[in-house]
Structure 1
C-alpha cells in the first residue's frame, strides 16, 4: 500500500466505527504557549482530555502532521528519526474504552493492513490485567506474546493531571534485523522489533502528592506512525525508502544530478533534505516564518541545515524551494492547505535561502577572526564552544570550520564542540512539554468547574448584570472570603466581562456587593467554562455565595470594540492593496491602539499605506452594518469567511459580517456599524521578522488624541516661524531655502578663506635635502576639510611633502600628503603619520601619497609637526 492508501484506509476504518474524521490541526498549537509545535496527534485535543473544553464529538480520528526536533542530528543516520512525520490516531473523549479500542486496533492491523498475527507482539503496563484479559481472551493473542513492561515505557504521565497505562503493538521484522544477542526481545534497542502503534488508556488523575484517582470519564488516545507502518507494508528497511519520502529524495537526486544510492554521504544528504523540506514546507504553510527566536528559530535551523546538506550535492544556488514544490505536489491532495499556500511557501523558502548565502559569508568572516585570535594566543586549535556557537547561531557547518582551520594549520576542539552540542540537547529535552495535558492550576480549576458549574457569558448583549460568587482565590489558595486590600481571583456564575482572547484585551469592571467592592483589571478563561476575574478588593469583604452586581467599563469596551472592528477592515484592505498572500500572523486589540502582524515580503510604500488607510476609512464612512451570525463551520466556509490564526474551531462558529466588505470567524466584541469606528489612522509599519510586517493604528478617541497632538505640533511650529497655520508650509519652505542659500554663501567664504590660509601656510615651507617640506597647524574644522586643504596645498606646491595638524574639541586630526615624484624617491606619507601619531596619543597610517591619523592629546601637536622635518630628511637620504 502507498502512504496515501494507508492514511485513507485508517481514517475510513474508524469512521465506520462511529468516529468523525477531523482535518489535521496546524503545526502551530492554538492557544498553547507552553509548546512550540504540534508534536503528537493528541495535542489539538488536550483541552478535551482535561475537561478544559467540551468536544463537539465524543469519537474522533485524524492524521495529524507533527514536528519534533530534539534528535535533529540523528535524522538520516537512522531508519526512523524524523523532524516531520504523520501520526494516525483515534480518540475517545469519555465514550468507549479498552474493551473497544484494543479489538479495533487488532482488527485494523490484521484484517485491513494484512499484517501476520504471528509477527505481532503486544506490550502492556505491569499490573494492567484488564488489558491483558482483552488482548488474550477477547482478541486471542497468545499470552507468551504479551509482554508486561514498567512505568518508564508503558505508563503515560507528565506531572499533575490525567494519565494512564499504555499498550503497544510491535511488529517482528525478523532475526536478520536483530542484534543476535541471546536476550534480544521486545524492547531491545536493535531494529528487529518495531513499535507501530501505541494505545494510551487515560483512566487516572494524578494529584500533587502523587496519588492516582480513577477518572469518572475515561479516554482513549492512540498514535500510529504512518511512515513506520508504511515501511512494514512496503517491506523496506527504512522509513526513507517508503514512497512517502523516496519520491522527494528522487526529485532532489534528479535536480542535483546525485541520485540516491550514489554513496553514503550523498544518501545522507538526500535523506536530511527530504525530511527537513517536509518540515519546512508544512511549517511555513501553517504560518511559521524564519526568525531568531522560538519556532522561527527552529524553522530557520531546519532550513539552513537542509541547505548545508545541499552543498554536499553541489548546490551553491537556492534549490530547497524547488524541493518544497515536490513536497506540495506529493502531499497536496491530503493537505490542501499546501496547495493554497504554495506561492507563500516557495517565496519564504527562497528568500531565506538567499539570506543564508549572505550569512555563510558572515560566518566565514567570524571564523577568520577566531583563527586570528587562536594564533595570537599561541593555540594550535579553535575553541570547541566558539565553533559550536558559529554552527548554532550562523548555521556554519562544523566540517567547513574544520576544513578552513586545517588550511591555517589549526584543528578544532571536537570534544568541546560535542560537549556544547550535548548541553544544547539537554536543554531541549528539559524544555520538552510537547504532550503535557494539564498544568497544576488548570487541574485545580477543572475540579472547581465540576463543583460550581460553568460561568455564563452575557457580554455580547449587555455590559452589566446580577451574579453570584462561586469561588474566591487569594494568595494562590481557594478561600471562603477576602478583605479590603487583598489581590483576588473570582469566579462568577454569570458575567458580562469579555475574557482576553484572540489578541483582544479583556474588559475592566467593578464587582459590587452589599458591603464590598472589587476592581477587576483582568479577565481570563484558563479552562473552557470558567471566567476568572482578577483584581483587588477595594472595600469590605467578599464571600463565596454573595449576590453581587457587575458593571463593565463601557468606555474601555467601546474603545476595544472600535479597534477590533478596524482590524477586520484593515485585514481586508491589506489583501486588496498588497495581495491575497497577506494573512494575519498576530494582533493586539487594546483600548488605545491596534497592532496587526501579517505575512508580506517587502516594506509598504507610502502610497500603499495611504491607499490602505483610504479603503478602511471609506468602509467606515459607508456605515456598513456589523452582523454576527452563529452557524456551522462548514456553512461559514461556504459563505467565504476568513479563519484567523489557524484556530481549531468547533462545529458551531461565530461569523462577523461587515456589509459585503468583510467576513471573518471571530469571537471578539465589535461595534454595531462601521461608522462607530470613527476616524482610522495608520501610525506606521515595520518589519518584525523575515517575511513578516507590522502595522499599528488608532481609531475613535485614540485617533482624536493623535490628531490633536499633530495639531499642537503644528501650532508650535507656526508660533516658532511666526506665521498663521494656513501659511506654515510656505513659511517653513522659505526658511529652508534661506538656509540653503546661507550654506552656499558660507561654503564660498570658507573656500576663499582656505585659499588665503593656504597662501599663508605655503610661506612656511622649508627645503630639506632638496625636498620642499611643509608641516603646520591648521584651523580646519574636521578631517574632510583638512584633507581638502592638503590636496590644495599639494597642487599649489607642485612637488613636496605636506603634513597638517588641527586640534578640534580636545582631539587631534593629522593628514599627510606626498607628491608622486617624491613617492618614487622613497618618501611615504603612511610611514610619516605612523611615526608622529603616537606623539598626540593616537595612531594611523595610509598610502604612500596620502595618510591620516587621529589623537587624543593636543599638547603634543607642535612636537609631532616638528618631527616631520627630521623624518623627511631620513627618508630622502
Structure 2
C-alpha cells in the first residue's frame, strides 16, 4: 500500500465525515435501529432506510441535507463471508442525503473536498465512474480537476439506480481508490469495475432525478434527491493502508482476540482454514451484538433466524479451530469496548446480550456434536459423486438446529453437495403447515384504504388519560369490508375513526378499549380499538340508528373493564422491576399482554425461574401494593427520561417526548418506565398480585402469567373449591391431603411394578407365546412380537427375558409396542453370534421406523426407535420379517 496520506482510526473517520457535513448545513442523524420501520425490509441495509419518507415526499426536511453513520446487516452472501476481504454481514455506512436542497455539482464538490482535503488521499489514486449517458456528472468531475483518464463510463447495471420498472431513478457516480499494481490482477484491461482488489470502490453517489414512465420516457422529478454511501470499513482499510475490510483497526482487534482464544495464528493473505474461521467469528460477533442490542432474539424465522444462523456459524467455526468452551461472550465484550462510545445501546443492553449469547452458545454446543455425528453417518453412506438428500439436511435443520449453510459447509469439506431443491421443498412444506395452523385474528391485515386514510386524516387525539367519556367526538372516516363508506346502519360491522376519543387503541401489550358511541338516535357498540399509524380505529357494530361521516357523538368506554386493565398494566411494571431485583439486570421485557382478566409478561432469561424465586417476586410485588405507593406520570424529553433511570422496552422505538410512569417516591421509585398505557393512581388499587404460571415462551425467553384484583380473587376461590373437592373424594381433611396422596402413590407404584413384572418377566405368558412363534432363519433364531403396553425401557427388559429363557447362542428379536402414552416403540436386538451372522439392529430400525412416523438407530446388537403413529406397528414388524427372511 502507498504511504501518501495520514492514517486515521475508524472512530476518527466516522467523526470527520459527520463533522464535515454538519459544518455545511446538513443535520446529523443517529443511526436508526437494525429493525426497520419499513415492513418490506427484514433488516436495515442502507443509510437511506430511515429517510424513505423524505425521499417519497411525505415529510419535508428543513435543513439542506442530512448525514449519518448507519449500522447495517446484509444476509444474502453469508456463505461468502470470510472467504474474501470485502464481504461483511454487519457494516457501517456513512452517508449524506438531500431532498432538493443540494445540487449535483455541490454534492460532487463536497465529496472531492472531503476525500482530498480532509482524508488527504492522493488525487492521482482516485478514479471515478459515471453512467454512460451522464454527461453532466462527467463535466462536473472534470471541472473539479479530475483528468479524463481517471473517469470511466459504465452501463446501467453498474451506474444507474431504479426503484423499480417505473418510478424514481437516476444515475450513479462511484469513487474508487487505486491500491496499487501489486494488489491487482495484472491484466492490461484492469480498471475500475474489475473483479480484482486493485481498484477499491468506497463511495457511491446516487442522483435520483428522473421519474421513469411506462412508455420508457424519463421526465425530471419535481426536485432531485441525493443518496450517497461510503463504506466505513473500506474507508478504514484505505486510510490504514490495508488491502481488506478485515485489516482495519476494529476488525483486526476482534480477529486478534479470536486468535488468542483459539491459539491459531492469522494470515491476512489466506482465505482458507483458521484464517477464514477467524474472520467469520469476528464478523459474526459484531453482527450478533448489534442485532440483540436492537431487540432481535434468536428464532427460526425472519430476523431471529438470521441472528441464530450467524451465532451458530461463529460457534461452529470456533470448534473447527479448536475452541472447546464458550467464547463468543468474550468476543461480544470486545465489540462493546471498541464500539460502545459510538453506539451506547451496546453498553445499555450488555447484560441482556451477554445472557442471550451465553444461553444460545450453550444450547447449540450441546446439539452440535449430535448433529455432526448424524451428518457424518449420513455422509458415510454416500458413494463418491452422490448428493446428500435434502430431506436429511432438513432433519438436521429441524431436529438439531443446524443452519443449512453449516450442513453445506461440512458436506463440501467431505466432497459432497446438498440437494438444495429438496431442502427448500421441505422447508416450504413446514412453513405451509405452520401457516395453516396459525389462527387469524379478527382484524387481519389492513389494506390500502388505511394507507390512504393515514395520509389524508389528521392524527386522532387521545383523551383517555383524563376522560372515560367525551362529547363532540366527530366521525372522520368509516370503513366497512375494506372499503370507505359514508354511512353504516343497524346491524353493520364498521371501523370508525374519530377526531378525538377516550378509547385506548391496542399497543404496548395493553388491549384496546370497548364501550359505546352514543347519540339520541344512535347506539354503536365498540368491540375493540386498534391503531393504524396515528389513527385510532374503533371496530364496532351499529345497534340502533345509523352513523355517517361528519356525525358528532359521545364516546364512552367500559369503565369497569378499563379499571381492571389499568390494574394489570401497572402490575406488569411492578413485575418487571421485581424480576430485575430477583433474577438480575439482564432481565428485559420481550412482550406482554395486558387484558381485563389477566396479564402475561415475557422476559429475557436463560433458565426456568425456581419456585423460591417466584415466591420472592410475588411477595415483593404484594409488598409494593400494600405500601399504597403513588403512581406518577410525567411527560419528558427522551434523553432526560433515560437519564432519570426510566426503563425503555428492549428493542422499542421512541419519539423525542415520552411518558414516564413511576411507582413510588419520585426520588427513589420502585419502578420507572417509559410507557404510553393507562395506569392506576395508587398501587393499592391493584389489590393483590398472584402468579399463575411460569413457562418457556421461546429461546431465552420466559413467560409469567398472573392475575390481580378481582381476577386473582376468583382464581384463589376456584383453587379453594378444588382443594375441597379433592378432600371429599379422598376422604381426607385438607391439612392431611399431601400425606394421603403420598400413600396412594406408593400403593399405585407397587401395583404397577407387579403388573410390569407379570408382563415382561420370564414367567409371562406373552414371553412364552413370543418364544413359541420364533422363526428359524438358519443362521439364527428370530423372535418377532408385539407387546403392547410397554415403553422402550420395558421392551429391553422383555428382550432380556426372552434371551434368558431361550438358551440359543444365536438369537435375535424385533419387538414393538403401543406404549401407555399411545406412542409407538420399536426394538431390535441380537446376540453377538446373530450379529456375526448378518443381523444389524441399527440398519433394520432405521428402515422400519418410517412405518410409525418415527426415527431411531443404534448399534448392530441393539437399536430402538420411537414414533407417533401406532397404526403402523404391524406394518413395521411385517417389513422387518420380510427383510430378514430375504437377507
Bin of the TM-score, shorter chain as denominator length: 0.7 to 0.9
TM-fit CA distance, 1:649: 2.2
TM-fit CA distance, 1:5: 0.7
C-alpha distance after superposition, 1:294-350 (max 9, x if no partner): 333222211221223234423333333333333333223323333444454444334
- Partner of 1:4 in structure 2? 11
Does the 8 A contact of 1:470 with 1:545 survive in 2?
A: yes
> Equivalences for 1:777-788 in 2 at 5 Å?
781-783=758-760
* CA-atom RMSD in angstroms: 4.9
Query: Which of 656, 671, 676 is the aligned partner of 1:662?
Result: 671
Could you tell which deviates more after superposition, 50-59 or 511-520? 50-59
Unaligned regions of 5+ residues in structure 2, if any?
Answer: 1-7, 432-444, 768-782, 818-825, 834-860, 865-869, 871-887
SS of the residue aligned with 2:264? coil
- Partner of 1:761 in structure 2? none
- Partner of 1:728 in structure 2? 734
Query: Which of 392, 414, 419 is the aligned partner of 1:416?
Result: 419
SS of the residue aligned with 1:782? helix
C-alpha distance after superposition, 1:513-566 (max 9, x if no partner): 565554433433333x33233344445443322223322232332222222211
C-alpha distance after superposition, 1:146-178 (max 9, x if no partner): 857548853342699x95536443114268466
Residues 832/451 of structure 1: CA separation in 2 closer, same or farther (3 Å cut): closer
Question: Distance between the aligned counterparts of 1:214 and 1:561, measured in 2?
Answer: 54
C-alpha distance after superposition, 1:698-747 (max 9, x if no partner): 22332233223223313322443456xxx4232x2453365368669979
Does the 8 A contact of 1:828 with 1:848 survive in 2?
A: no
Residues 832/442 of structure 1: CA separation in 2 closer, same or farther (3 Å cut): closer
Higher relative contact order structure (alpha carbons within 8 Å, sequence separation ≥ 6): 1
SS of the residue aligned with 2:811? helix
Query: Which of 76, 91, 95 is the aligned partner of 1:89?
Result: 95
- Partner of 1:500 in structure 2? 506
Does the 8 A contact of 1:683 with 1:696 survive in 2?
A: yes
Are positions 1:644 and 2:649 aligned together? Answer: yes
SS of the residue aligned with 2:532? coil
Residues 442/173 of structure 1: CA separation in 2 closer, same or farther (3 Å cut): farther
Does the 8 A contact of 1:779 with 1:806 survive in 2?
A: no
SS of the residue aligned with 1:292? coil
SS of the residue aligned with 1:251? helix
Residues 743/603 of structure 1: CA separation in 2 closer, same or farther (3 Å cut): closer
- Partner of 2:474 in structure 1? 468
Are positions 1:257 and 2:269 aligned together? Answer: no
Residues 745/40 of structure 1: CA separation in 2 closer, same or farther (3 Å cut): closer
- Partner of 2:34 in structure 1? 27
SS of the residue aligned with 1:310? helix
- Partner of 1:288 in structure 2? 296
- Partner of 2:539 in structure 1? 534
Does the 8 A contact of 2:637 with 2:657 survive in 1?
A: yes
C-alpha distance after superposition, 1:812-831 (max 9, x if no partner): 996776999x99xxx44772
Q: Which has the larger radius of gyration?
A: 1
Does the 8 A contact of 2:285 with 2:332 survive in 1?
A: yes
TM-fit CA distance, 1:3: 0.7
Question: Distance between the aligned counterparts of 1:271 and 1:48, measured in 2?
Answer: 37
SS of the residue aligned with 1:531? strand
TM-fit CA distance, 1:662: 1.1
Are positions 1:831 and 2:808 aligned together? Answer: no
Query: Which of 272, 279, 285 is the aligned partner of 1:277?
Result: 285
TM-fit CA distance, 1:363: 1.4
Are positions 1:611 and 2:630 aligned together? Answer: no
Question: Distance between the aligned counterparts of 2:294 and 2:247, measured in 1?
Answer: 27
- Partner of 2:698 in structure 1? 689
Does the 8 A contact of 2:64 with 2:98 survive in 1?
A: yes
Could you tell which deviates more after superposition, 643-652 or 735-744? 735-744
Instruction: Please give the TM-score of this superposition, normalised by the length of structure 1.
Output: 0.76
SS of the residue aligned with 1:525? strand
Question: Distance between the aligned counterparts of 2:257 and 2:706, measured in 1?
Answer: 46
- Partner of 2:593 in structure 1? 588
Question: Distance between the aligned counterparts of 1:814 and 1:833, measured in 2?
Answer: 10
Residues 513/835 of structure 1: CA separation in 2 closer, same or farther (3 Å cut): closer
Residues 390/557 of structure 1: CA separation in 2 closer, same or farther (3 Å cut): same
C-alpha distance after superposition, 1:401-449 (max 9, x if no partner): 4677xxxxxx73x273599689999x99xxxxxxxxxxx9787656545
- Partner of 1:37 in structure 2? 43
Does the 8 A contact of 2:176 with 2:201 survive in 1?
A: yes
Does the 8 A contact of 1:156 with 1:200 survive in 2?
A: no
- Partner of 1:564 in structure 2? 569
Are positions 1:241 and 2:247 aligned together? Answer: yes
Does the 8 A contact of 2:261 with 2:323 survive in 1?
A: no
Question: Distance between the aligned counterparts of 1:662 and 1:232, measured in 2?
Answer: 49
Question: Distance between the aligned counterparts of 1:49 and 1:171, measured in 2?
Answer: 26
C-alpha distance after superposition, 1:598-639 (max 9, x if no partner): 222221111110110111111112222111111212211221
Are positions 1:112 and 2:113 aligned together? Answer: no
C-alpha distance after superposition, 1:351-377 (max 9, x if no partner): 4333333222221443366368769xx
Are positions 1:157 and 2:137 aligned together? Answer: no
> Equivalences for 1:508-519 in 2 at 5 Å?
508-512=514-518, 516-519=522-525
- Partner of 1:548 in structure 2? 553
Question: Distance between the aligned counterparts of 1:325 and 1:744, measured in 2?
Answer: 52
Does the 8 A contact of 1:52 with 1:446 survive in 2?
A: no
Question: Distance between the aligned counterparts of 2:390 and 2:20, measured in 1?
Answer: 52
Does the 8 A contact of 1:253 with 1:270 survive in 2?
A: yes
Residues 522/814 of structure 1: CA separation in 2 closer, same or farther (3 Å cut): closer
SS of the residue aligned with 1:323? helix
Question: Distance between the aligned counterparts of 1:121 and 1:84, measured in 2?
Answer: 27
Does the 8 A contact of 1:513 with 1:546 survive in 2?
A: no
Residues 150/470 of structure 1: CA separation in 2 closer, same or farther (3 Å cut): farther
Does the 8 A contact of 1:79 with 1:239 survive in 2?
A: yes
Question: Distance between the aligned counterparts of 1:96 and 1:613, measured in 2?
Answer: 59
SS of the residue aligned with 1:85? strand
- Partner of 1:454 in structure 2? 459
Question: Distance between the aligned counterparts of 2:145 and 2:652, measured in 1?
Answer: 43
Question: Distance between the aligned counterparts of 1:806 and 1:443, measured in 2?
Answer: 63
- Partner of 1:314 in structure 2? 322
Query: Which of 697, 712, 729 is the aligned partner of 1:703?
Result: 712
Question: Distance between the aligned counterparts of 2:56 and 2:447, measured in 1?
Answer: 9
Does the 8 A contact of 1:26 with 1:38 survive in 2?
A: yes
Question: Distance between the aligned counterparts of 2:265 and 2:306, measured in 1?
Answer: 28
Instruction: Please give the TM-score of this superposition, normalised by the length of structure 2.
Output: 0.75
- Partner of 1:672 in structure 2? 681
TM-fit CA distance, 1:62: 3.0
Does the 8 A contact of 1:805 with 1:815 survive in 2?
A: no
SS of the residue aligned with 1:687? strand
SS of the residue aligned with 1:497? coil
C-alpha distance after superposition, 1:177-221 (max 9, x if no partner): 666778766555554554433445677899999999998898655
Does the 8 A contact of 1:41 with 1:89 survive in 2?
A: yes
Report how many aligned residue pairs link the two structures.
777
TM-fit CA distance, 1:459: 2.0
Unaligned regions of 5+ residues in structure 1, if any?
Answer: 405-410, 429-439, 751-777, 791-803, 857-877
Could you tell which deviates more after superposition, 47-56 or 664-673? 47-56
> Equivalences for 1:134-213 in 2 at 5 Å?
135=140, 145=151, 147=153, 150=156, 154-157=160-163, 163-165=168-170, 167-173=172-178, 176=181, 189-191=195-197, 193-199=199-205
C-alpha distance after superposition, 1:439-489 (max 9, x if no partner): x97876565455443322222221322222222333333333344454433
